[in-house]
Amino acid sequence: MTLIFKDLQHDDYERVLLSQDESVGFECITAIHNTKRGPALGGCRYFSYQNHEDQLTDVLKLSKAMTYKNSLANLDFGGGKATVNAKIPKVQFYELFAQVLKELDGTYITAGDIGMVDEDLVQLKTLSPYVCSTKGSDSGLSTAYGVFNAMIGYEEFYSQQSTLENKKILIKGYGKVGARLAQFCKQSGAIVEIVDFESKKDLIEKDGFVFLKHYQDTNFDQIDIFSPCATGGDLNQEFLDFTKNKKVNCVLGAANNQLADNEIEQKLFNEGIIYCPDYCVNAGGVIILALRSSFKEDMEYDEPEAKKKLIGIKDQLKNILLLSQNKNQLNTISSNELAEQGFQ
- CB-count exposure of residue 115 (10 Å: 0-12, 13-18, 19+): middle
Bridge partners, 84 (sequence order): 28, 46
The β-bridge partners of 21 are 26
Point out the catalytic residue in the list 6, 61, 69, 81. Answer: 81
Q: What sign for the dihedral angle of Cα 304, 305, 308, 313?
A: negative
Shortest CA distance to 22 belongs to which of 8, 7, 1?
1
Give yes or no: 308 in active site: no
Sign of the torsion formed by the C-alpha atoms of 225, 229, 230 and 231: positive
Radius of gyration of the chain measured on its C-alpha atoms: 20
Provide DSSP, 87-156.
-S-HHHHHHHHHHHHHHHTTSEEEE-BTTB-HHHHHHHHTT-SSB---TTS-HHHHHHHHHHHHHHHHHH
Q: How far apart are the C-alpha atoms of 171 and 62, rounded to whole Å?
A: 25
Question: CB within 8 A of 263, min separation 6: which ones?
Answer: none
| Active-site annotation, residues | 81
